[in-house]
Structure 1
Amino acid sequence: MVLHYPNGKPFKKELLQPNTNLKAKNVIYGNRGMSLEEEINISNRYYLQRGKAVIHKKPTPIQIVNVDYPKRSAAVIKEAYFKQASTTDYNGVYRGYYLDFEAKETRNKNSFPLNNFHEHQIIHMQACQRQQGICFAIVKFSMDNELFLLPAQFLFHCWSQKDNGKKSIPKSAIVKHGYQIKYGLHPRIPYLDLVDKLIDNNF
């Protein structure tokens, strides 16, 4: 299926391949083959079922323009367009606070590319922050299976340096200014523990 952005450009999403070079001691078998989005969705269901938070993935409206019917009982979408530019991946309510955040992953080992984010996503998070919402990004270094929560202000600072030629955020800066998220069982990604820290620090 071919998807297009509102400007007509084709949508391309890198498919993550399993890393067969990791030593056994570094592999978390419970997470193998699972995307960051799937891990967050599982975590959000856990939070919802226990009444801790109400956070959902935002649906992306798609306009279908070409459908194939190989069988009378089945239809295959061959071409579609995103109706509008998406904002961020997730939003919801926790402890009376509005949360709005993006989830991104990279196969890079030493830096996170800024072009993984889009300008309209940054603008959206800045608008939410002005309304006292809590915004952040959860990023995953998939080769090392490491997760970090990036506070919005740190992300905004890095984004502002794009005009000076900055193309990525060094992992060392993410370690210094972000919060590492350790995988758990229930929930799989306990990111609300770190949102508590954002709240304690006035975001």
Structure 2
Amino acid sequence: MKVEYFIGIVPPEEYLERIEHFQRKWINQLGVEPHITLKAQGGLTADKKWIDKVQRACKDFKSFQVSLDKPKYFGDNILYLSVRSNSLHELHQKIVKEVSPSEVLIQQYFELDDFVAHLTLGKAQYGGNVSTGLSKKELKEMERLADIELTPYPQFEVNFIRVYELNNEKQRYEKYLDISLSN
């Protein structure tokens, strides 16, 4: 059984529901609630010793503002809402340094210098000759409609981060723990 964690930032409830409603036009089974990725899986091990380190990184980190913005792509197969926030990058770096995953994991998960804050809307993925995600055409349509249906893009206060754990039975990431930032 695979044990996996990652850390994200959750948008305000009403916008979270708006994004979920939007995504469900294309995706039946959402693998996780909409979130801004803060720290990928690398170094977040099954022994959970990293949780104290993440809490330590957050203890003195003040709440901060985040703005969601226009859709962009990673390559041509992952559509996301862009994110603007100086403090988010700072918190990302602080957490990665505390957890201290290997250089290989930092590169594998695009962390530190390669980190791009984002909220994923949809993906086109191909395993062999089978598409396990959306088609390129569906992604283009999703991008077009995001600019209509998800605007105005919100700005909001981040005062906690969420640790997600993979639920193997449901094949879905679920809330494991919320960690408060300093107020």
Report the structure number with the largest CA radius of gyration: 1
Assess same fold via TM > 0.5: no
TM-score, normalising length: structure 1: 0.27
TM-score, normalising length: structure 2: 0.29
Q: Relative contact order, CA 8 A, sep 6+: which one is greater?
A: 2
